[in-house]
Amino acid sequence: MVALDRLVDVLGSLGTHLCCAPRGRDVELRGVALHDPVERTATATDDVLLGLGVPSPAAAARLVGGTQAAAVVLHGRPPLDERVAVAARRSGAAVLLVDPSVPWGQLANVAQTLVLGGQRKGAADLFAVADAIAAVVGGPVTIEDQQSRVLAYSYRQQGVDDVRVQTILGRRVPEEARRALDDYGVFTHLARTDEPLFVPRLTPSLGGRLVAAVRAGRELLGSVWVEVDADVDAVRHSALVDGARTAALHLLRARASSDLERQAEADLVISLLEGGEPADLARLGLPAGDLRVIAVQAHAGEGEHGAALLAFERATAGFGWSRPGRSALFGNVLYTVVPCGEDDAAAVEWVQALRRELPPEVLVPAGIGGRADAVHLPSSRNEADECLALSTGEPVVYDHAWAHVLLGRLAAVADSGRRPSRGPVADLVRHDVEHGTRYADTLRAWLAAQGDAREAARALSVHPNTLRYRMQRMAEVTALALDDPDQRLAMAIALTVTRTAP
């Protein structure tokens, strides 16, 4: 069972648009039906109906208007034909338009996997596809994702070149070989067409290759590589294309299953961070205590949300295959619960590992909360958020930054009420604005140095006599009770509020 909104999210990568949803996006789906152009298709009120063989908008309107299904998927591009929209309002069926270039076979596989929770056969199926391609095309095969990471390879790899050996052992194409392939235009070719491309020997360790794109509709999912000495005939070209299409079905099925698992994991993580049931830890495979919450943001120019999504994808895949934590994306913040105990090194290493998985231009500020059990995970999450606000580069750990966090909390409490318009700090700030003085900075430095004039002067890059003169003049502007510890604390908080206020 899955909500319509979830189906729309998953099919969105295939160019799917939800054009109308008379009963809302929360409608639950439990079945998948295929339209039969010859006989009337029986549907239930919680089915997704795939509109195969619908030749025209008029036929689509008849199908949508006469069905009991919760949603109907049609080939087409927005905007939705008005006749179909009227029919949808009459029957209550949601209508999804999918790019016509997406085969119905791919749509059926994804929908069935998502809605029915179909049997996930796992990576073994993809290895079998590689074996089948190798047998027909006549050469050792690897199936790779868009980042040239190996997803599967054929059983027989005898006599392969050095790059193939390094690729399989390292689960990734070596960077030098990838640059050579990029310079030759291989990746540009894969982005543009499904036609196989023969790549001759480019370096002494990189022999000939025949490569074809693995694509779902217009989206490039990866590629299939066959090691051959020379180009092959048209029959084997066609076999390679067919094999790539089969690989696409398996990758889409894996993605749908993975999306379901990610969503289930994310829901449990968010529940725990909001004070949910401690038993959820066992469902996530996490221990009952010695946990920390990591809060991460990812920035890449103006693409903040895109970078956050990429960080979530890498945290729940890629290096996350063996990751110790469990993650959820909430807004533009990635939260991860990591078992690491008193030592925060495991949490810091988790952040560093995520950074290594992201492009160099993506900035990854991070905050790490204090140690907690299931009951106190919400507190660790708050601490992680507060540390994230302090992070400008390296991860900020609550254990080391608690004083800054506490001062920030006090400042926030003070600033949430009516900020005093009179008093020592307000008087000094006003004087600075009107006369161009630096009295507020001077008081801040003096308080930070605990009254040590030389240390405060050093922080301000002025002579100690200059600092003493300023302090005398400041006493003429306002009443400074510097011998009162409560007033010193209050002024320190007020200065922090002044510094952080918009």
Report pLDDT digits (tens) over 143-174: 998 888 888 888 777 788 898 888 887 778 88
Per-residue pLDDT at 215 exceeds 50 = yes
| Number of residues in the chain | 502
Q: What is the structure's pLDDT at 257? A: 60
Q: Do 364 and 429 fall within a single domain?
A: no
Residues in contact with 96: Cβ distance below 8 Å, sequence separation at least 6, in sequence order: 7, 8, 11, 16, 17, 18, 19, 71, 72, 73, 74
Q: What is the structure's pLDDT at 306? A: 62
**Which strands form 141-145's sheet, in the order they lie side by side?**
150-153, 141-145, 219-227, 209-216, 197-199
Q: Is the model more confident about 123 or about 197?
A: 197
Please tell me what DSSP assigns to residue 3: E
Q: What is the structure's pLDDT at 172? A: 81
Mean pLDDT of 426-431: 90
| 110 located within any domain | yes
Tell me the pLDDT band of 122, cut-offs 50, 70 and 90: very low
Residue with tokens 């409560």: 486
Distance separating alpha carbons of residues 491 and 442, to the nearest angstrom = 12
CATH for 310: 3.30.70.270
Do residues 14 and 219 make contact, with C-beta atoms less than 8 angstroms apart?
yes
Q: Is the model more confident about 37 or about 107?
A: 107
Q: Do 341 and 376 fall within a single domain?
A: yes
Per-residue pLDDT at 465 exceeds 90 = yes
CATH for 429: 1.10.10.2840
Q: Which of 100, 118, 136 is the last residue of a domain?
A: 118
| 355 located within any domain | yes
Q: What is the structure's pLDDT at 293? A: 93
Q: Do 225 and 289 fall within a single domain?
A: no
Cα 222 to Cα 143, 185, 187, 212, 240: the distances in Å are: 7, 16, 10, 9, 14
| 190 located within any domain | yes
% of the chain at pLDDT higher than 90:
38
Q: Do 476 and 457 fall within a single domain?
A: yes
Q: Residue 162 in 3-state DSSP?
A: helix
Tell me which range, 286-290, 391-395, 406-410, 441-445, is most confidently predicted by mean pLDDT. 441-445
Distance separating alpha carbons of residues 136 and 239, to the nearest angstrom = 7
| 406 located within any domain | no
| 494 located within any domain | yes
Q: Do 96 and 209 fall within a single domain?
A: no
Q: Do 370 and 296 fall within a single domain?
A: yes
Rg of the chain, C-alpha, whole Å: 31
Mean pLDDT of 169-195: 90
| 263 located within any domain | no
Report pLDDT digits (tens) over 239-260: 999 999 888 888 876 666 666 6
Tell me the pLDDT band of 195, cut-offs 50, 70 and 90: very high
Mean pLDDT of 368-384: 91
| CB-facing half-sphere around the CA of 243: CA atoms within 13 A | 32
Per-residue pLDDT at 302 exceeds 60 = no
Q: What is the structure's pLDDT at 256? A: 61
| 489 located within any domain | yes
Q: What is the structure's pLDDT at 425? A: 87
Q: Do 238 and 310 fall within a single domain?
A: no
Q: Do 359 and 379 fall within a single domain?
A: yes
Q: Do 127 and 242 fall within a single domain?
A: yes
DSSP E strands: which ranges in 356-454? 366-368, 396-397
| 459 located within any domain | yes
Per-residue pLDDT at 321 exceeds 70 = no
Q: Which of 80, 99, 118 is the last residue of a domain?
A: 118
Q: Which of 118, 147, 178 is the last residue of a domain?
A: 118
Q: Do 315 and 432 fall within a single domain?
A: no
Q: Do 245 and 168 fall within a single domain?
A: yes
Do residues 500 and 411 make contact, with C-beta atoms less than 8 angstroms apart?
yes
Distance separating alpha carbons of residues 292 and 382, to the nearest angstrom = 11
Q: What is the structure's pLDDT at 12? A: 72
124 Cα distance to chain centroid = 26
> What is the total count of domains within the chain?
4
Tell me the pLDDT band of 118, cut-offs 50, 70 and 90: very low
Q: What is the structure's pLDDT at 304? A: 47
Measured on CA atoms in the order 367, 302, 19, 72, is the torsion positive or negative? negative
What average pLDDT does the chain have?
84
The Cβ of residue 221 has, within 10 Å, a number of other Cβ atoms equal to: 23
Which residues form the domain of 211?
Answer: 121-254
Tell me the pLDDT band of 70, cut-offs 50, 70 and 90: very high
Intra-chain end-to-end CA distance of the chain, in Å: 47
Q: Do 155 and 55 fall within a single domain?
A: no
Burial class (CB in 10 A: 0-12, 13-18, 19+), 381: buried
Please tell me what DSSP assigns to residue 292: E
